[in-house]
Chain A
């Protein structure tokens, strides 16, 4: 599968940047059907780094209210990728 379909975008939040700085763990939004192995390979290919661990989780969409009606933002899959010590990813 194409790496760009597996890895959708980086997650840029306080928590994620904190983790990347302190623990060398980078977070991404990934495709819902992507497996940990696929994700690891994709990251290695895209950023030319060595992946040590991949942890994934489903993030539930938030409930949003539009007037009386309750809506929901989509669920998505998050992957937290641990890199080999010394490897780095720069988003720019």
Chain B
């Protein structure tokens, strides 16, 4: 067997395979042997059919079978011998020639391979670490949010709605005569930005039982109608932040203890943020150093992957991206993956089975029936290790930064918590 491997752009390879007569015959013989045992041809007993007769009867299907065998066997061999790692199904070009007995046979295989990522300078990256001090202000901001979360709502009966009141509604929002949102049972704060201005204006001054119909136009000129009835007016009373408040929140004895807990939580979030920031810097620096052209099949698969992931997360950030940006994002992700992989190979960073088991146990502890994609876990672990390695090899400068928690920044806290888990 003669193999010639040629490089094509976009990290594709063209493999020309030439088989000698004897090899082709060997394949024919082995296929024929299989046929000989089972073929039933009138005039012959089973298993007694002579070769020439078999060849005559099954010529066409025999050729197809031999072709399959030849391609499979030689492709497998080539993969092993030439160290080719395909990332997509190979396309095989036989020029519509079938193998024939006593004749040499040649064909071409074109395949997308793992691109060779070359990276030399990955040690001693200069990184900036955000040094974040948790201030009293941050703690107080969280406290304030907790205070709002646990506020009491007291009914108001003796006066109309004022700015800052909370109103229990019954009704709906119509867009061009069609109901788009049901308002029944909703508690809204009057005068807040997240309530439409027209609605806030209509609410101020109304009393319990009042019905209102407000018409307005949207930016695109559609008619929007708010139709609602005031069911109840409530006043929010914040609890006083003191030891008692801390005790109400749970397992805390005093306000100081609560504060300490908030501090702990915040610092954990900060740690994660800092680490994420460092990771991002590492990736940015490494990705820019590498120029690779990925085969289109690989990029496409990555785009699909990104789309699916974004659907799972449901944040819709990917849908907004155009075709081109999505492509760039995919290439970036791919680069990241292959760079980390390459570094792991170079530095002999591996993930042991024990480590895998540990993580697996941890995951299944949280979700009993969770399906665990071990390959995914492995690659995540591996990436984490490579990051740790890169971090320890990098030179890190501290940069002052401040963490400012806004009272309404609920997502920040929640996200932080999720990451902690």
Partner-B contacts on A (CB < 8 A) = 11-14, 16-17, 21, 90-92
Q: Is the interface of A mostly helix, strand, loop or mixed?
A: loop
Please state if B52 and A90 are interface contacts (CB–CB under 8 Å).
yes
Give CA–CA (A90, B55) in the complex, Å.
12
User: What is the interface size of chain B, counting residues whose CB is below 8 A from a CB of the partner?
Assistant: 10
In the complex, residue of chain B having the shortest beta-carbon distance to the beta carbon of A14: B44
Q: How far is the CA of A11 from the CA of B56 in the complex (A)?
A: 14
Across the interface, do B56 and A14 meet the contact criterion of CB distance under 8 Å? Answer: no
The answer for the CA separation of A92 and B53 in the assembled complex, in Å, is 9
- Nearest A-chain residue to B51, judged by Cβ: A17
Please name all residues of chain B whose beta carbon is closer than 8 Å to the beta carbon of A17 when the two chains form the complex.
50, 52-53
Which residues of B340-398 have CB atoms within 8 Å of chain A's CB atoms? Answer: none
Chain A contacts for B56, CB-based, 8 A? 91-92
Which 5 pairs show the lowest CB-CB distances between chains A and B? A13-B43, A14-B44, A17-B50, A12-B43, A92-B56
For residue B41, which residues in chain A have a CB less than 8 angstroms away from its CB? Answer: 12
Residues of B within 8 A of A14 (CB): 43-45, 48
Rounded to whole angstroms, the CA-CA distance of A13 and B48 in the bound complex is: 10
Minimum CB–CB distance from B384 to chain A (whole Å) comes to: 66
Residue of B nearest to A18 (CB): B50
- The interface residues of chain B lying within 8 Å CB-to-CB of A12 are 41, 43-44, 53
Q: Which residues of B contact A90 (CB under 8 A)?
A: 52
Taking CB as reference atom, which chain B residue is nearest A15?
B43
Q: Considering the chains assembled together, what is the distance between the CA atoms of A12 and B54 in angstroms? A: 11
Q: Do A13 and B44 touch across chains, with their CB atoms under 8 A apart?
A: yes
**What residues on A are CB-neighbors of B55 within 8 Å?**
92
A-side contacts of B52, CB under 8 Å: 17, 90-92
